[in-house]
Amino acid sequence: MFNRISTKNINWILMIGVILLIIEIVFFNKVLIFSVVIFGIMVYFGWRNFHRSLGKILFWVGIVFLTFTIINMMAVRFIIIIGLILILREYYKSTKDPIKWQTPEHNTDHTEALLEMKPFLQQRLWGDQVTSENAYEWHDVNIQGTFGDRVLDLSNTVLPDDSFISIRHFIGNIEIYVPYEVEVSIQHSSLVGRANILGQYHMNLWNHQLSYQTTDYASDKPRVKIITSLMSGNIEVKRI
């Protein structure tokens, strides 16, 4: 049903929701962000220590309070109500003219053969992600998430001459293992965290951006360009 709602309508809903959220925080509920951050931290550390009883308690308590806090936001209520109205409207249109709504509109003047590429790291908001320990086919990485670690081992794949990795993450750690014969360029931004970039250590990053590349990156191949950003967490790029 959502695929029938135009992107323009979705953008308007999100923009109005953001405006309502700002108004709510500034004028009505200034502790809202503080509550979301606190419960978010509880969820993160609970997930990291989920194998312990205290970790399970922190995780589920954080989930419950974070859910209620988010649902009680004026902006979230607005988005839910408008979303339900749009779904009902589109459903009503589909019942009035089902053929029109079941047939996608497209340009038949020119079609081109395409291969669908299956990424080996999925777009996941929660949990850790690790590349396969077995050999796998390389595809460029472009993902984002909220909580958990991301581990990429490039030694189990054959890299093309130019590869690209982009990871935008909220809270968690990023580990990337690069073979010795591969040249590296990396740009990393972090609000809070630490970094180890091929032996270059940064123990305290506060709203900082790092940029490095190996000496032969411009001339030698294969090479990989890495762009990462973290709200809070550590990054480690190592040779393997």
**Per-residue pLDDT for 176 more than 90?**
yes
Least confident range of 49-58, 64-73, 124-133: 124-133
Per-residue pLDDT tens over the stretch 134-172: 888 888 888 888 778 889 999 988 899 999 999 998 888
* Rounded Cα–Cα distance for residues 138 and 142 (Å): 13
Prior bond of 98 cis (ω within 30°): no
Looking at residue 109, its amino acid is D
Q: pLDDT by residue (tens digit) across 62-93?
A: 889 888 888 888 888 888 888 788 778 777 77
Q: What pLDDT score does 189 carry?
A: 92
| pLDDT of the residue at 225 | 95
Distance, CA of 220 to CA of 240 (rounded, Å):
19
Phi and psi angles of residue 169, each rounded to the nearest 5 degrees, phi first? -140, 155
